[in-house]
Amino acid sequence: MHISLAAEKIAQIGPLPITNSMVMTWIAGIVLIVVAFFATRKKSIVPRGVQNVVEMVIEFLFNTANEVIGDKKQTKKYFPLLATIFLFVLINNWLGLLPGVGTIGFNEIHHGEEVFVPILRSGNADLNMTFALAAITIISVQIFGIIAIGFFKYSGKFITFKNPINTFVGFLELISEISRMISFAFRLFGNIFAGEVLLTVIAMILPYIAPLPFFGLELFVGAIQALVFTMLALVFIKMAITDHAEEH
């Protein structure tokens, strides 16, 4: 059994290596676009079929976001990012549980020994993906904050010289933004990667029946991680767009 922390390279286009995780994220993206297309193809005021399911999800997300942000107009600004994070992470996590992901592949000679390279691997079991999501989220939060309360007010959160305590707190805030990004990336990666490893190990020990509860668990973890990522992003946005000076 060989478990690789990094996503395996399966092809190369010019300078860009194509990894199995990346292929998975493409598939997830295509699935989302196709579903979105079918859900909105024939919009009717009374929802039916796919439209109904998709609407339920979108409405749930929108209401959750709206509860935290508290203003519909504001929520609409941040909603696309939040919804895309949720849907993308969720679909990636669930697609990673499909049979064949991680098991269909080929053998490759790597550093003199033969290793198994799966063609597909859960998208979020690759730190590049989770870091990309984390970076987008944190950078977006900064941008939203600057747009909402102005550059100077926003940067005042991090750099102030009014009194030494505030200066120090601002410095801590700056560090915390970075640590948020790292924790975002590693939380998602850790959970999904651990799930993959767990399923692989269980399937090796007892191939029949035994993995089923773990699949259920991983379905749950996949949904929870998507929700956690989205909710944290939501809370960070809310914190960034709130003018603290005004509150006191």
The residues binding other proteins (CB under 8 A) are 4-7, 15-17, 19, 22, 25-26, 29, 32-33, 36-37, 39-40, 43, 45, 54-55, 58-59, 62, 76, 79-81, 83-84, 87-88, 126-129, 131-133, 135-136
Beta strands in 79-234 (DSSP E): 105-110, 113-118
- Least distance to other proteins, CB of residue 203, Å: 23
With respect to other proteins, which residue has the nearer C-beta, 140 or 170? 140
- The identity of residue 129, as a single letter, is M
Residues 6+ positions from 130 with CB-CB distance below 8 Å = 124, 184, 185, 186, 188, 189
- Least distance to other proteins, CB of residue 58, Å: 5
With respect to other proteins, which residue has the nearer C-beta, 144 or 211? 144
With respect to other proteins, which residue has the nearer C-beta, 32 or 231? 32
With respect to other proteins, which residue has the nearer C-beta, 73 or 162? 73
Closest CA to 93 of 4, 173, 191, 9: 191
- Least distance to other proteins, CB of residue 161, Å: 34
- Least distance to other proteins, CB of residue 6, Å: 2
Confirm if 121 and 24 have CB atoms less than 8 A apart.
yes
With respect to other proteins, which residue has the nearer C-beta, 45 or 205? 45
Query: How many angstroms separate the CA atoms of 174 and 238, rounded?
Result: 17
Query: How many angstroms separate the CA atoms of 172 and 128, rounded?
Result: 26
Query: How many angstroms separate the CA atoms of 140 and 78, rounded?
Result: 9
- Least distance to other proteins, CB of residue 136, Å: 6
- Least distance to other proteins, CB of residue 151, Å: 23
Query: How many angstroms separate the CA atoms of 75 and 91, rounded?
Result: 23
3-state secondary structure 152-197: HHHHCCCCCCCCHHHHHHHHHHHHHHHHHHHHHHHHHHHHHHHHHH
Element (H, E) at 16: strand 16-19
With respect to other proteins, which residue has the nearer C-beta, 28 or 149? 28
